[in-house]
Copies of this chain bind each other. A is one copy, B any other.
Amino acid sequence: MDTRERLIESTRELLWERGYVGTSPKAIQARSGAGQGSMYHHFHGKPDLALAAISRSAEELRDRAETAFAGSGTVVERVAAYLRLERDALKGCPVGRLTQDPDVMADPDLRAPIAEVFAWLTGRLAGLLAEGRTSGELDDKLDPAATAAALVAALQGGYVLARAAGSAEVYAQAIDGALGLLACHAR
């Protein structure tokens, strides 16, 4: 892995662990093993490097989700496959957590990949649910867009509960609960 790559990966880790405000150039340099000069040679500064890191994390999130959504099985099975992907509940979502970062939200460039991937995710999920309704797998009372938002929110909120409790168990419960509620709409 070359220096530029190590800088991006180290930044991704640090943004995940400490957020944007909590991540200093010095910490990035220490973790990546790159010097001051190196970092500013490859990137214009902290925001530039963060943009590369955030974009990649958003892309990864999308790819993982699409893999689950595009799998085989019924709609409910594919939604469940996505919600049950392996995740470290205590670490939180590497993308979602950045929505709490004031400096990220204040910078339209940094914010864009986050806005985009969540819009895509809820839209994709809503499409799946609509498909399930059309095929008769899900009943007509289910609102695809609202339900998609609720499911993604339950996932993101599951992280919050897990971190608050210091235990991954609540996360699993939230996912179970969300799927249990969804199951009720299956025919």
Contact = CB atoms under 8 A, between A and B. Distances in A.
A44 interface: no
Interface in A144-181: 145-161, 163-166, 170, 173-178, 180-181
Contact size range, A:
35 or more
A92 B153 CA distance: 13
A124 interface: no
Given A153-B158, A154-B157, A158-B153, A165 B21 contact: no
Given A181-B184, A185-B181, A153 B146 contact: no
Given A96-B160, A156-B156, 20 more contacts: A19-B101, A21-B22, A22-B102, A22-B103, A92-B100, A99-B163, A122-B161, A143-B177, A143-B180, A146-B176, A147-B180, A149-B158, A149-B161, A150-B174, A151-B177, A152-B174, A153-B156, A153-B158, A156-B157, A181-B182
